[in-house]
Structure 1
Amino acid sequence: MEFGKGVQLKVSWVPLIWNRYNVPKYSIIGWLAIQKRLMTKYRLLRFGIITDAKCDMCLAQQEDHQHLLYDYVFSAQCWLSLQDWLGVKLPQNGILEWGIKWRCRSLLRKQMVLSAMVGLVYHLWYARNICRLEQRLPRPSAVIAMVKEDIQVRRNSMQLGVP
Structure 2
Amino acid sequence: MRKRLLTKDRLCRLVGSAEEGCDLCGTDKETHDHLFFQCPYSSRCIQLLSDCCKIELPTSNMEDWWSRKSFQSQTEADILAAILVAALYNVWWMRNHCRINNVLFKPEYVVGNIQNVTRNRCKNRWQDIMSFHWLHL
Flag whether TM exceeds 0.5 (same fold): yes
4+ aligned runs moved over 3 Å, structure 1: none
Output aligned runs, 1:2-151, within 5 Å: 34-94=1-61, 96-103=62-69, 104-151=71-118
Aligned-partner Cα distance in 2 for 1:60–1:147: 24
Look up the equivalent residue of 2:41 and give its one-letter code: F
- Contact between 1:57 and 1:128, CA under 8 Å: does it hold in 2? yes
Aligned-partner Cα distance in 2 for 1:114–1:132: 27
Corresponding residue SS for 2:24: coil
Q: Equivalent pairs: percent with the same residue?
A: 27
Aligned-partner Cα distance in 2 for 1:82–1:137: 18
Aligned-partner Cα distance in 1 for 2:16–2:111: 32
Aligned-partner Cα distance in 2 for 1:70–1:159: 29
CA RMSD of aligned residues (A): 1.7
Q: 1:90 to 1:155 in 2, by over 3 A?
A: closer
Deviates more, 1:119-128 or 1:97-106: 97-106
- Deviation of the 1:158 alpha carbon: 2.6
Larger radius of gyration: 1
Long gaps (5+) in structure 2: 128-137
Aligned-partner Cα distance in 2 for 1:83–1:131: 24
Equivalences, count: 126
Query: What TM-score results when the alignment is normalised by the length of structure 2?
Result: 0.83
Aligned-partner Cα distance in 2 for 1:99–1:151: 16
Long gaps (5+) in structure 1: 1-33
- Contact between 2:9 and 2:31, CA under 8 Å: does it hold in 1? yes
